[in-house]
Amino acid sequence: MPESNDRDGLVNRQLPEMQLSDGSASSLTGPPPPFPHYLNAEGRAQMRFAVEGNAIITGGAGTLALEGARALLEHGLAGLAICDINPDQSAEQISALKLDFPSATIITKRLNATDAENVKSVVEEVAAELGSVDILCCFAGVVGCTHATDMSPEEWRRVLEINTTGSFLCAQGVARQMTDQQTGGSIVMIASISGHRVNFPQPQASYNVSKAAILSLKSCLAAEWARYGIRVNSISPGYMDTILNEGPGLERARRSWAERNPMGRMGSPQELTGPLVLLCSGAGSFMNGSDIVVDGGAIVF
């Protein structure tokens, strides 16, 4: 009997359907207004890449996230919430941001991106303290390099839980806030060239899969949430020259990464900031569901 009821429910179910915007001027996806006629060329250039409102950056205590935060503040970001599992690890750098941008409101929050209730409460706190949430940048993530035959189920689940599920939960929490605000906004996920092709020489199946999932997730959310004025895009960095890729044990890998790159080197953290500003500013107003690869040409081979 239960099997029959299950089958009846399957056959008679109604599929939910996503709705698209009509793109009208009265919608949240209408075209941007033209630049004011009184602006000169310099004023138009500044307005084109102006970053407005308030942002949450997850994994905000990391090198790439802090570099991105500085760039967004330089382009006019009014409020910034640096959210991290351990924001104290970068207390000195965060203090420097506050000193360098005294007109901006910069706060820190302890955030476990895999805890839906924690995400919900942090988003609510940030919205209350800053007034709104207009931008989300998902930098939180971990790397794992283990041969697939040696990988434990726990390691596999941990990498996907933090990198993929964590990004989804944060995007979901912020999208709900943006929808309540009826203001729209920009969500930027950090994918990787690892989501586009297999790494060499290090084995890291769990990481590659987690980042490939981000590329698909970004597209799904871009389709579903556009009608709310929410743009969802991603950036796929190549090998970046940060503390995560330092140390004598990585010399051979670093040499391989550079030799297999048309530009012959790794990327500098500041080289991710241009694409980030683009996606968070008015310059990226018609970019939705896009992925920007920043890798010096590594994946052309």
Q: Is the dihedral of CA 35, 36, 37, 43 positive or negative?
A: negative
Q: What's the rounded Cα separation, in Å, for the pair 233 and 218?
A: 6
> Are the CB atoms for 164 and 90 separated by under 8 Å?
no
* Closest to 65 in 3D by CA, of 100, 97, 112: 97
What tokens appear for 8 in the block? Answer: 């009846």
In the chain, the amino acid numbered 227 is R
Q: Is the dihedral of CA 231, 238, 208, 246 positive or negative?
A: negative
Specify whether the backbone of 298 is left (phi greater than 0), alpha (psi in -120 to 50) or beta.
Answer: alpha
Residues noted as catalytic? 192, 207, 211
What tokens appear for 82 in the block? Answer: 């640096």
